[in-house]
Chains A and B, each alone.
Chain A
Amino acid sequence: MVWATRPDGHHDFFNARWYEFTGVPVGSTDGAGWNDIFHPDDQNRAMQQWQHSLSTGVLYDIEYRLRHHSGAYRWVLGRAQPVRNSDGAIIRWLGTCTDIHEIKLADEQRQLMLGEMNHRVKNTLAMVHAMVSQTLRQAENLKDASTSIQSRIANMAQAHDLLINSKWTETRILAVVEAALAPHRTGNGRFTLDGPDIPIGSKQALALTMALHELATNATKYGALSTEDGRVSVRWCVGETGGEETFSFCWTESGGPPVTPPQRRGFGSRMIEQALAGYFNGMAESAYEGAGLSFELNAPLSGLIA
């Protein structure tokens, strides 16, 4: 769109494109009438900057919202420069308005995403910090703490890889369970995985990955994975109770040595029994039967995505 003004700022020319875009009657934006066709929140700023250019000769350069004939406002870039005579006096201003609406929206999206990413990174760091602090509080010695921390961080990092591959917002549960258990599988068929491949949110995926890491680590040290004959069944399902859709996740060990509940509640058991349920808005329970540990998480189905 092209427009022009007298040296005093009185607008006296707008091209056909301007009238096509705005849909206003020819001549109706002459003089100072042009200001009303911009967004109310931008009008003062536009006028102030225009007055400044008029009095100083400085290039006019502004982003503002122009009313389209559809009634919607669109972001445009307004620019104007003075035309001078041989004495250097300004005799005209020549200006343009360029539709930058899509670019502006894309930029706003990008800012939002950067803000969101920054928030998520901070959150992840806070989770790592929480894990490290708690591991150190409970550790018997520095070497044990070091091993625990390293394997936990590796586990969390691997969960993030999976999430980034699914564009961070959502992934499916089978991939999450398989990735979490991959480091613990020896190819001997000790694990059975069974359940519908339903969507799961990123927070929940991370929490489940961390809990599975703890369950598998404990099973390797004291439970079913510490012997050749031990087996772990990992099953999950969707059901309905009282009109509400529910989700159940079970980890059941068998064939391993006799187990008893742990005396100290370290990071691992708190992750499994407390934190995980929190992320799913549900409840978790561990039972140490003669046959081995059985762990169950019950939550509303909505808890997987919320």
Chain B
Amino acid sequence: MTSRDQSRPVVLIVEDEPLIRMEAVDMIEEVGFRTFDVGSANPAISLMEAHDDIGILFTDIDMPGSMDGLKLAAYVRKRWPTVSIVIASGAVDVETLDLPEGAYFFPKPYPTDQIARALETVSDRWG
């Protein structure tokens, strides 16, 4: 890791499907970010509380537990307003979704290059 990576935001990945979660970790680490990865909202919130260097939330929508990805995104936006939000989902009706303002949305399978560019843009604004 170069020293530049230390000033980059850490990415918190929330995805319940194991194989796709592995891919999200690989994809995002390949672009030079450190990551945490969990499968649902509750552990995600615990990690956010414990680590203030998390600057990007990368989350799916469908997941087990009391909160889905959209509710989690809204919660994170309210409590940690400086954290950028990226939502990646197989959901079809994007227009009807209640996305937080400024949140990025990507479909699945991941359009890797587009996601990488979005993360770079967000990272440049961080710190």
Taking Cβ atoms with an 8 Å cutoff, the residues of A that contact B are: 115, 118-119, 122-123, 125-131, 133-134, 137, 207, 270-271, 274-279
**Closest Cβ of chain A: how far from B37's Cβ, in Å?**
11
- Report whether B90 and A122 are in contact in the complex, using a CB–CB cutoff of 8 Å: yes
Q: How far is the CA of A115 from the CA of B22 in the complex (A)?
A: 26
**Closest Cβ of chain B: how far from A115's Cβ, in Å?**
8
A123 contact set on B, CB distance < 8 A: 17, 20, 90, 108
- Report whether B22 and A274 are in contact in the complex, using a CB–CB cutoff of 8 Å: yes
Chain B 42-73, CB within 8 Å of chain A: the 1/0 string? 00000000000000000000000000000000
Q: Which of B1-9, B23-31, B79-87 contacts A (4 or more CB under 8 A)?
A: B23-31
Q: How far is the CA of A53 from the CA of B86 in the complex (A)?
A: 49
**Closest Cβ of chain A: how far from B43's Cβ, in Å?**
13
A275 contact set on B, CB distance < 8 A: 18-19, 22
Q: How far is the CA of A214 from the CA of B92 in the complex (A)?
A: 33
Given contacts A125-B109, A126-B108, A129-B109, contact A119 B90 (CB under 8 A): yes
List of 4 A-B pairs having minimum Cβ-Cβ separation, nearest first: A278-B18, A129-B109, A130-B23, A122-B90
- Report whether A207 and B92 are in contact in the complex, using a CB–CB cutoff of 8 Å: no
B21 contact set on A, CB distance < 8 A: 278
Which of A119, A128, A133, A207 makes the CB contact (< 8 A) with B112?
A: A133
- Report whether B90 and A130 are in contact in the complex, using a CB–CB cutoff of 8 Å: no
Q: How far is the CA of A119 from the CA of B108 in the complex (A)?
A: 10
- Report whether B22 and A118 are in contact in the complex, using a CB–CB cutoff of 8 Å: no
- Report whether A126 and B90 are in contact in the complex, using a CB–CB cutoff of 8 Å: yes
**Closest Cβ of chain B: how far from A214's Cβ, in Å?**
12
Q: How far is the CA of A115 from the CA of B112 in the complex (A)?
A: 25
Given contacts A137-B26, A278-B39, contact A126 B18 (CB under 8 A): no
Q: How far is the CA of A279 from the CA of B39 in the complex (A)?
A: 11
- Report whether B20 and A274 are in contact in the complex, using a CB–CB cutoff of 8 Å: no
**Closest Cβ of chain A: how far from B62's Cβ, in Å?**
8
Q: Which chain A residue has the least Cβ–Cβ distance from B108? A: A126
**Closest Cβ of chain B: how far from A234's Cβ, in Å?**
21
A115 contact set on B, CB distance < 8 A: 92
Say if the beta carbon of B104 comes within 8 Å of chain A: no
**Closest Cβ of chain B: how far from A113's Cβ, in Å?**
14
